[in-house]
Structure 1
Amino acid sequence: MADHQRIHPMVSIEMGKPAYSRPLMPHQAALLRSDKGNLVQHQPPLRQHTVPAIPSQPPPKRRNSCWCRCVCWTISLLILLLIIIAAIAGILFLVFKPKLPDYSVNNLRISELRLNLDLSLYARFNVKITAENPNEKIGIYYEKGSQISVWYKSTNLCHGPLPKFYQGHQNKTVMDVALTGQSQYGRTLMTALQEEQQTGRIPLDLKINVPVRIKLGALKLPKVRVLGDCMVVVDSLSTDNVISIKSSTCKFRLKL
């Protein structure tokens, strides 16, 4: 039995532990010995990535704020100006109590109404108009450039200017105005007028356009226009006769 005995080397009885173990070290770390002989862990410095600096921009100019201030000041001044004008107008209205002038057609006479050789229609009317200024403290200057015209439907038969004059307070002025005109398609127009004359009711439209200046005491205001439209119905268009006016309706307005 002694022949079968073999000598084996001694093996550590502590199983599960390797004979040589490698110390665990953190990633990218090193062990250094301190002055006292102890081992200390040394961590290498981390690399820092330098971020390029963004160049600073100058602060934006305050153009928008200046523009807003200018707009606000302008709007405020305009509002203030409108308030002042409205206050002045209100005071003038209360003091002078302005009223529109009134116009009426007194009579109408036809001097000529004939066909020319070129078949155009020549007309000459005489219209007597009364202009009334009902204001107690306001005078009216009738300026150049006025016109009164007589229309039959959409055709201008004749026209002429009103005289230039000054009308005082609460004054009535009668004007005798001569109107002349020449219209194309005279034969057709004459036939239509003759047919209307048989009915005894011929509608005519008198349009008035008069530039005036208002006088408030010693103050003379800028020029405005009086626009009028009178629908007149007459019984006849016989020449050299006073024509009877059956009805007359007028409307007036001011144009600045």
Structure 2
Amino acid sequence: MTSKDCGSHGKSRRKIVRRVIWTIIFFLFIVLLAILLVWAILQPSKPRFVLQDATVFAFNVSGNVLTSNFQITLSSRNPNDKIGVYYDRLDVYATYRNQQITFPTAIPPTYQGHKEINVWSPYVYGTAVPVAPYNAVGLEEDKDHGAVTVTIRADGRVRWKVGTFVTGKYHLYVRCPAYINFADKPAGVNAVKYTFTSSCSVSV
């Protein structure tokens, strides 16, 4: 075999490799374009969360340490009629002035179908949780005035399901304000239930 034959054989192989690569790129482009078109047509909406109520069993500030115990009722509605939602991870906790004051409570992974509503009632608590000095002072002052505003947060990961196609994971951030009026607590009662039915801010 001459060197000329080897050269033409090498060029032919490179052309085949290029064609295969361009075919793969074109195929991936078509698939991604189809997914984007379907996504744009369906126009997915974020889940809607509502903090329905909270039962307060304990809320005690001692120095720079806080012990608290809530049971909350949190509902989520999927507003989409063609898209399902996988909640792969969802941790619920409470904050005061942007400082976390309870341990995170994990909600079991679940799937939410079209237009479905899920309701969770986790316990959110923290025992002897250190609080920043300025927040400890704020908590004491708020309790003395009879009311404390905390934020119930839910952070997690979700995936969207369209037909048989499931997307990658997206971060989910939920913020629900809760106004706790300690002046409403009757003497001798250990637990008080507060009804909110307030909408939460949701970002994905």
Partner of 1:50: none
TM-score of the pair, normalised by structure 1: 0.57
- What CA distance in whole angstroms lies between the structure 2 residues aligned with 1:91 and 1:142? 22
Is this contact kept in 2: 1:234–1:244, CA < 8 A? no
**Any idea what the Cα deviations from partners look like across 1:19-50, whole Å, max 9, x if unmatched?**
xxxxxxxxxxxxxxxxxxxxxxxxxxxxxxxx
Helix, strand or coil: the match of 1:137? Answer: coil
| Runs of 5+ consecutive residues of structure 1 not aligned to the other structure | 1-76
Say if 1:121 and 1:187, in contact at 8 Å, map to a contact too.
Answer: no
Question: Which protein has the bigger helix share?
Answer: 2
Q: Distance in 2 between matches of 1:197 and 1:114?
A: 9
What TM-score do the two structures reach when normalised by structure 2? 0.70
Q: Structure 1 149/162 Cα, relative in aligned 2: closer, same or farther at 3 Å?
A: same
Q: Of 105, 109, 112, which residue of structure 1 is paired with 2:55?
A: 109
Q: CA deviation at 1:111?
A: 2.0
Find the counterpart in structure 1 of residue 200 from structure 2. 250
Compute the displacement of 1:233 (Å). Answer: 2.4
Contact 1:232 1:249 in 2 (8 A): no
SS at the partner of 1:222? coil
Residue 97 (structure 2) pairs with residue 178 (structure 1) = no
The 5-angstrom pairing of residues 88-107 of structure 1 reads 88-94=35-41, 96-107=42-53
Q: Deviations over 1:96-143 (max 9, x none)?
A: 331110001000112223467x96322221110011011111111111
**TM superposition shift of 1:208:** 1.7
Shift of residue 150, structure 1, vs aligned partner: 0.8
Identify the structure with bigger relative contact order (alpha carbons < 8 Å, sequence gap 6+).
2
Letter in 1 for 2:162: L
Cα pair 2:44 2:80 within 8 Å, conserved: yes
Give the aligned partner of residue 68 of structure 2.
123
Unaligned runs of 5+ in 2: 1-23
Amino acid at match of 1:197: K
Is the 1:147–1:162 contact (alpha carbons within 8 Å) kept by the matching residues of 2? yes
Write the letter of the residue equivalent to 1:89. Answer: L
Post-superposition shift, 1:231?
2.7
- The residue type paired with residue 128 of structure 1 is T
Deviations for 1:27-77, whole angstroms, at most 9, x for unmatched residues?
xxxxxxxxxxxxxxxxxxxxxxxxxxxxxxxxxxxxxxxxxxxxxxxxxx9
The residue aligned with 2:171 is 225
Q: 1:136 aligns with which of 67, 71, 81?
A: 81
* Alignment partners' CA distance in 1, 2:101 and 2:173: 19
Listed as ranges, the matches of 1:190-229 within 5 Å are: 192-229=138-175
Q: Tell me how far 1:244 sits from its aligned partner.
A: 4.4
Letter in 1 for 2:99: T
SS in 2 for 1:161: strand
Counterpart-to-counterpart distance in 2, 1:186 and 1:99: 37
Question: Alpha carbon RMSD of aligned pairs, Å?
Answer: 3.3
Contact 1:236/1:244 (<8 A) preserved = no
Amino acid at match of 2:35: I
Q: Shift of residue 90 of structure 1?
A: 2.5
Checking the alignment, whether the CA contact within 8 Å between 2:51 and 2:199 is kept in structure 1 is no
> What are the superposed Cα offsets for residues 180-201 of structure 1, whole Å, 9 maximum, x if unpaired?
2242159986664343134444
User: Is the CA contact (8 Å cut-off) linking 2:91 and 2:106 kept in structure 1?
Assistant: yes
Larger Rg: 1
SS in 2 for 1:93: helix
